Amino acid sequence: MDHDSPSAVLNETIRLLEIQHTYEEQLLKEQFFVTYELLKPVNLLRSTFREVATSPFLLDNIIGSVVGLATGYLSKKLVIGASGNIIRKFVGFLTQVGVTNSVAQHPETVRSIGQFLLNRFLRKNRIES
């Protein structure tokens, strides 16, 4: 039988297509398994937590918000003091909201000021020592 005959070419083509089909079927099964594993709720939560934990932008926002809340609270306490005066309490509340929003929206500025003050304080302590 001649290898260049139409039936031999057809048989060879069929054989190659069967091999390709088997290979693609195996790839599809593997991809299905990977997708199935990724879509499990536990794995979705794990990957989301990993992304959140490694996101520097999100971490900076959280730190900025916490610092904003803390400085706002402290500024309110400084304004109100031990006073029970309702007007002072209202002014303290407005101060707290203003400082909290300013600090939370401009964490880089607050960080720069904090570093400047810390360096100045440490330099002053070194000179006195």
Residue 1 lies in a domain: no
Which amino acid does the sequence have at 89? K
- Residue the block writes with tokens 């979705």: 44
How buried is 113 (Cβ within 10 angstroms: 0-12 exposed, 13-18 middle, 19+ buried)? Answer: exposed
DSSP3 helix / strand / coil % (the chain, rounded to 5): 90, 0, 10
Identify whether residues 17 and 78 lie together within a single domain: no
Global confidence as pTM: 0.44
pLDDT tens sequence across 60-96: 777 777 777 888 888 888 888 777 788 888 888 888 8
Domain range for residue 39?
Answer: 6-44
Are 12 and 65 in a shared domain?
no
